[in-house]
Structure 1
Amino acid sequence: VITNKSPMGPYRGAGRPEASFIMERMIDLLADRIGKDPADVRLINASDVPFTSPTGLQVMDASRPFLEKALKTMNYYEISKNEKTGLSFFVLIPSTRPGQSARIVSGDGHIKVYLGGDTHGQGHEAWARNIIKEYLNVDESLVTLENGDTKELDEGVGAWGSRSAIVGGSALVNACKKIREQVKSKFGEYAPDKLLNNHFDAQDFFSADFSLNSLNANMITARVLNRRVDVTGWYCYYDLGNVLDMGNVIGQIQGGALEGIGQVLSEGIKYSDDGQLITNSISLAGLLKADDIPDKFHIHIAENPSDVPSHAKGLGESPTIGTPSALARAIELNTGRRVRITPIGPDYL
């Protein structure tokens, strides 16, 4: 078969948003048919203990206590009395395997950090500097994150799948411990100036061979007027384990939220009736504009440390997983029509 259709590739979430959308839309449909609040239906079906799903996924935390805390923190029951409110509840499954590497090189009053997963906008340099400060007591201004280079690292895997702070951060923590021991072995004690003014080199590869999934929830309020959706409030309650850099976390969440909203309202591939590609540039692909940004972001973080050295959990894909189904629900409460597809643009409305 010869086709001119666009090929498919992973976007932020890489299959998780689609799977969550189907499941959450089914829960909302069930709630409507039996006349219960969608939050209550989710609570009834949540677990008081960690459990293994029918497909073999080991969910590490009890979901009902987490969801109860999320609903209270986001003030769901009060807000949903007066506003069209959508809710989503999901498990983030980060791609931790097969691990990640990190290297620290000191000398000339400076520290260079190499990560096996290169950064392409996620802000790895922020949490890398924080880890160096915490474990080596070195000021952030003296730390540089170098671009990933196969010449400088024995092994590297990549920055994808909400994994970097978990495996890359853990490899960096272990490298900090190794280089600290090198300083103590040479000088009898550790001191930052001894590290900075002498050449030391430590490398680590960390692999997590156990599940590091985390529970997360989103809530969205929206209004529909004149064939336009106005997202009036975007809420989340995410378990991030140990937050390595809060500013970086907020940026990750807001950016991912906009991607999730774009998936629902505008982003897509379009063809003419005779099969010609219409969205032949990124400007025509439905990317959000500034006036599509939610009026307010309400970001709430739970910190239940994981068992890896960085104590972090995944984040990168969570906003794109939780946003679409919650926003779809808010839209259907406004319109009174079941939302089954995206994007939901002006013509659809």
Structure 2
Amino acid sequence: VVVRDTIIHPRLIPNAIETRSAVASWLAPMGELTLWNNTQNPHICRFLTSVVTGIPEHKIRVIAPEVGGGFGSKAPVYPGEMITAFCAMKLGRPVKWTETRSENYQATLHGRDHVQHVEMAATRDGKITGLRTVVYAGMGAYLSLASTGIPTILHGLMYSGAYDIPNIKGDIYGVFTTTTPVDLYRGAGRPEATFLLERLMDLLANELGMDPVDLRRRNLIPKFDDGHDVVVGLTYDSGDYEVALDMALNHINYQQLRQDQEHGRGHGHYMGIGVTTYVELCGLGPSQVAGAVGFGGGLWESATIRFYPTGKVNVFIGTSPHGQGEETTFAQIVSDELGVPVEDVEVIHGDTDITPMGWGTYGSRGTAVGGPAVALASRKLRDKGKALAAHLLEAAEEDIEYEDGKFFVRGSPDQSKTIQDIALMANMAWNMPEGMEPGFEATTFYDPPNFTYPFGTHVAVVDVDPDNGHIELQRYVAVDDCGRQINPVIVAGQVHGGVAQGTGPALWEGAVYDENGQLLTGSMLDYPVPRAHMLPDIETLSTETPSPHNPLGVKGIGETGTIASTVTVYNAVMDALKPLGVTKLDMPLTSEKVWQAIQQAKGA
């Protein structure tokens, strides 16, 4: 049995709440440039600013303050920032530039823009035997930061998904058009890969007369804890996909929903149910992989932890968050590792003069790559503290244990020193072991050995009104596994935002150009984005399957909601429209488009 489809992913506008902006200050006597820039990548911004301006890197300071969202669109360096710097140098006074919203829509990178011709083969009993794709990926007018890597690495390497698919062939073509360049946008290639897989699964289930859940369950990769090779050449880290599927189905009471759906159809009520099981490649690294595919740099991360004599702690990180909550998460990691109160830990980021080199925050790599760097720096300090405590307590180092912020002699818990005692002594440094340097700080550079692979199951329930095509998203359940969770509240928040963002292209969003290359959706009046009242409460649940590939067992979470939600909502709508004779629609599924399709089906 073979099913086929042509899927069009609309071009999307990232639409961060804060548009791009920069302030440049040139200190001519010193030959120093300071650039305040809402970038996701301050260290790379400094490097490229040096290349463009000719100013030595050590004379450039890039500061990325609290950034009002980015979603990938603020990872590249744009001409606007460089022109601002040149103007400041020319005028000899500070210069500020902020793009308007319409400029943002036209000049800041776009996302998605795929045309996919896809087919899936299976046996009559529902065992998948192969997947074939021909994908035309819009590049825009010219290449940007990761334009070529998105449809190839981040998209093409996700064709296995959560399923055991023995044969996969993908042909991917980049297409230049006279439009804004396409680059990193939340999910970046993986929503498109998940969409084609999950859409084909529903089409195949329809063809075979199977429940879509039963078809997915039949083809899921079995549970594994320490690596699973898939045919595209990746090694997944850990996964228990069926547990996530069962949790979502049980929570939403799937069998009862199907009964309610059948009953409702007999009374003119058209409910639809969409189910998606996904896997995501994220935690971008390792450096050798990045180098091998032509990235031109490593994808490691760094952290410096410094204790002051008072026991207060600064954590300097190479990543630069823009809404992911790393200030909280990384402080918790230090608190857990070293037993210090979380309120005594301050995380500092986004200033190239005081933070160690890092590669930025995108691709769900903040906690997955930056977090282990913080943990390993903490453990370096713990080891130094152990040696100093042994000296102060006049005990052998191997007899020193550490728990809840206290070093003590094994079997004699009263013989102890707190980590604050150790920090004071290390900084005052008048009674140190021979050969130990003063100070209590450590720096770590962490290069992951593999990607991380979060996974999960999402379920959407929609109602479609056949009289006007209106779609009401009634329920949305998201079960996600991002390994060990550092902060469950932040995890849930990331999923909420991702689901909202991923629902956008399913129902409302899409950038439109006319035949002359003029952007027609150049403002919020023309480019609708989801608002809170359009969405139900997002019901978030989770499983925890630690990754064996990093010391914290963590995986990424920032993009999972976006990766799963577009196709989940789309499949739910198409499921609702099935008894009305509508089998094919392109995104976004606007009310007008749905109503017209229903009328055409009636006429047929």
The alignment's TM-score, normalised by the length of structure 1, stands at: 0.91
Determine whether 1:58 maps to 2:260: no
Query: Which has the larger displacement, 81-90 or 51-60?
Result: 51-60
Determine whether 1:79 maps to 2:257: yes
Of 569, 572, 577 in structure 2, the residue corresponding to residue 327 of structure 1 is 569
- Percent of counterpart pairs with the same letter? 29
Correspondence list, 1:1-349, <5 A? 4-48=178-222, 50=224, 51-59=228-236, 60-61=238-239, 63-64=241-242, 66-82=244-260, 83-97=271-285, 98-107=299-308, 108-188=310-390, 189=407, 191-194=418-421, 197=424, 198=427, 199-225=439-465, 226-272=468-514, 275-282=517-524, 284-294=526-536, 296-307=537-548, 308-336=550-578, 337-349=582-594
Q: Distance in 1 between matches of 2:591 and 2:514?
A: 18
Change (3 A) 1:237 1:20: same
Query: Which has the larger displacement, 89-98 or 208-217?
Result: 208-217
Instruction: Indicate conservation of the 8 Å contact 1:101/1:168, yes or no.
Output: yes
Q: Distance in 1 between matches of 2:181 and 2:301?
A: 29
| Structure ranking higher in strand proportion | 2
The residue matched to 1:209 in structure 2 has which SS?
coil
Q: Distance in 1 between matches of 2:519 and 2:182?
A: 15
Match of 2:128 in 1: none
Q: CA deviation at 1:275?
A: 4.3
Question: AA paired with 1:14?
Answer: A
Question: AA paired with 1:212?
Answer: T
Question: AA paired with 2:346?
Answer: T
Unaligned runs of 5+ in 2: 1-140, 142-175, 261-270, 286-298, 391-406, 408-416, 428-438, 595-604
Q: CA deviation at 1:153?
A: 4.3
Unaligned runs of 5+ in 1: none
Q: Distance in 2 between matches of 1:125 and 1:31?
A: 45
The alignment's TM-score, normalised by the length of structure 2, stands at: 0.54
Q: With CA pairs under 8 Å and 6+ residues apart, which has the higher RCO, 1 or 2?
A: 1
Instruction: Indicate conservation of the 8 Å contact 2:283/2:366, yes or no.
Output: no
Q: Distance in 2 between matches of 1:80 and 1:133?
A: 47
Q: CA deviation at 1:180?
A: 2.1
Q: CA deviation at 1:255?
A: 0.5
Change (3 A) 1:195 1:325: farther
Select the structure of larger CA radius of gyration.
2
Q: CA deviation at 1:187?
A: 4.0
Q: CA deviation at 1:252?
A: 0.4
Question: AA paired with 1:96?
Answer: L
Question: AA paired with 2:182?
Answer: M
**Pairwise CA RMSD:** 2.3
The residue matched to 1:84 in structure 2 has which SS?
strand
Q: Distance in 2 between matches of 1:163 and 1:273?
A: 38
Question: AA paired with 2:593?
Answer: Y
The number of aligned residues is 348
Q: Distance in 1 between matches of 2:532 and 2:246?
A: 34
